[in-house]
Amino acid sequence: MRTRPEPEATLARRTVSEAWVRVVTPLAALSIAPAQEPEAAPPLTAPTVQLGDGLRIRSADGAFELVLEGLFQVTAVALESPREPAADFGLKRARPELSGRLPGGLRFKFEPKFTEDDVELEEAWVGADVLGGEARVMVGRMKAPFGLEEVRSRRWIDFPRFSMLNQFSPAEDHGLFLWGATGDDREWEWNAAVYNGTGGDDTNRGKDVAARLMWHPFAGTNSVWQSLQVGVAGTFGDQDEDVEGDTIDDAAGLGVLEFASGARLEGARRRLGLEAAWFHGPNFVQAEALALDQEMAGRGGDRDIGVRGFYLTLARVLTGEAKTFKGVHPDAPFDFERGTGRGAWVAALRYSQLQLDDELAPLMELGTFTDGIRGLELGLDWIPNRNTIVRLALVRSDYDDEVLVGSDSVDGSNALLLELQLHF
C-alpha cells in the first residue's frame, strides 16, 4: 500500500528540528560535563645569590654563573740608607675581578689592575671546559704555567713580596692555554701553553712554549701527607728584546744589577723549575728551584748566561687554625666596628738564593754586578677576618760583591715591609 507523501511544510519543520538536535546535544553535554583544570605553569625559580668569597649569582639550573671579586693592596716600606726614598707609601694593586660560566661549559675572566699611575690588564680570557670537565682550553691573557708562586693566588701569600726567583718566571701573557686533571681526586694535574713570551704584545715572531706537571701522590687519602704535591715545569722560546735599564732585584725588590746600554735578549731562552708544597693543620711548607739559560748580546758580543736559584718557605698559624692554598679562616674573626675577636696570626720564614753567571758582568753597568744574592725574610701576618690581611716582613739581603747604590758601595740591604690587603 502506498503511503501518502508528507506536506512540504511538515517536512521542513522536521528537518529543522533534527538539525537543532544535532547542534544543541553536544553543547548540552559540554554544559553538563565538569570543567577541566588548565595545566599549571611550571614554577618560576629565582637565581641564587651567595656572598662571602665574592658575590656569586647563579641561575637555578646552575648553567649561568657570574662572580664579582676584588683585591686591594696598599704598601709601606722603610729602607736602610743610602736607598732613596728611605720610606714610602704606595698603592700596589686595586683590582676588580669579573668571571663567569655560561651554558655548554663556556667560561670567561676579566681582571684590570689599577695603580697610582698606571692601568694594566692582568687577565682577560675566554675558554671552555672539555673532556667532561676534566680539561679546559683558554685563549687571551692569563698566567703562564710556570712557578708555584706565580700560579697561586696573590691573596694568600705569606709575605708582601714574592721571592727573588719570581722575577725570572713568566707572568701574564697573551696566548693559548690548556689545563687538565685526572681522576676525581686530581692525582695528576697538568698545564700547557703557547704564548708571546714578552709579557704583552709580541715584539718579534718568536713564541714561548710552557708545560707544567703536578703530582699529588696521597690525594684522596686520610694521610697526614694528603696535601703533598710535587711538580716540574719548563719553558722554551726564542726572544729578541732590549733590556737596557732593567734590573735584577734582591729579596726586598730593590734593584742591584742594572743592564747597560745595548744589552739584549737575543736567542734561545730555557727555564726549568722544580716545586714542592705541603700543608697540614697550622703548618705550611713551600719550595721551588729554578734554572734559567738565555742567549744575550751586548758589550763584548754574544753570550750564553745562566741563573740558578731556590727558596724555602716555612709558615705556622700561631692561633692554631688550618692553613691551605686558600688561606686561613680565623676561628674568632676580629670585628673592626665592635672591636671583638682576635683574628688569626701567622709566622713565616723564607730563605732564598740566586747564583748569577759571570758572563752577565759585561752586560751590566759598571759597579753593579755581583755573582750571588741571598735573602732572609721574617714575616708576621695578622688575619683579622676572611677579607683582610696585614703583612709585616723584615728583609735582609746579602750580596757576594759590593755594588754601587748611587755613589755608595754596599754589600746588602735591610728593609721593613708592611702591606694591608682587603679582598672579597
Could you count the other beta carbons within 10 Å of the beta carbon of residue 138?
Answer: 20
DSSP strands (E only) in 183-228: 188-195, 208-215
In three-state secondary structure terms, 26 is helix
Q: How many Cα neighbours within 13 Å face the side chain of 290?
A: 30
- pLDDT for res 43: 56
Place of cell 639550573: 61
Question: Higher confidence at residue 71 or residue 40?
Answer: 71
Q: How far apart, in Å, are the Cα atoms of 74 and each of 158, 162, 407?
A: 15, 15, 31
For the chain, how are helix, strand and coil distributed in percent, rounded to 5?
10, 55, 35
Tens-place pLDDT, residues 129-148: 999 889 999 999 999 999 99
Specify the pLDDT at position 402.
Answer: 95
Kindly report which listed range (85-89, 208-212, 277-281, 380-384) carries the lowest average pLDDT score: 85-89
State the pLDDT at residue 69: 95
Mean pLDDT of the chain: 89
15 pLDDT band (50/70/90 cuts)? very low
C-beta separation of 217 from 187 below 8 A: yes
pLDDT class of 4 with cuts at 50, 70, 90: very low
What integer pLDDT is reported at residue 29 of this predicted model?
43
pLDDT, mean of residues 285-314 = 95
Q: How confident is the model at residue 27 (pLDDT cuts 50, 70, 90)?
A: very low
Of the chain, the end-to-end C-alpha distance in Å amounts to 107
CA distance 244 to 355: 21
Q: What pLDDT, on the 0 to 100 scale, is given for residue 117?
A: 82
Confidence of residue 407 (pLDDT cuts 50, 70, 90): confident
Question: Regarding predicted confidence, which is higher, 225 or 19?
Answer: 225
pLDDT given at position 206? 76
Which band of pLDDT confidence, cut at 50, 70 and 90, is reported for residue 26? Answer: very low
Residue 42's pLDDT is what?
A: 53
Instruction: Could you please state the CATH topology (level 3) that the domain comprising 70-423 is classified under.
Output: Porin (2.40.160)
Residue 102's identity, in one-letter code, is: L
Identify the helix (H) or strand (E) that includes residue 22.
helix 8-32
pLDDT at position 61: 87
Residue-wise pLDDT for 258-297, tens only, equals: 999 999 999 999 999 999 999 999 999 999 999 999 999 9
Look at residue 294 in the predicted model and tell me its pLDDT.
96
Q: Residue 418 in contact with residue 392, Cβ under 8 Å?
A: yes
CB 350 within 8 Å of CB 312:
yes
CB-count exposure of residue 149 (10 Å: 0-12, 13-18, 19+):
middle
Confidence band, pLDDT 50/70/90 cuts, at residue 391: very high
Residues present in the chain in total: 424
- Tell me how crowded residue 335 is: count the other CB atoms within 10 A of its CB: 12
Q: What is the pLDDT of residue 45?
A: 64
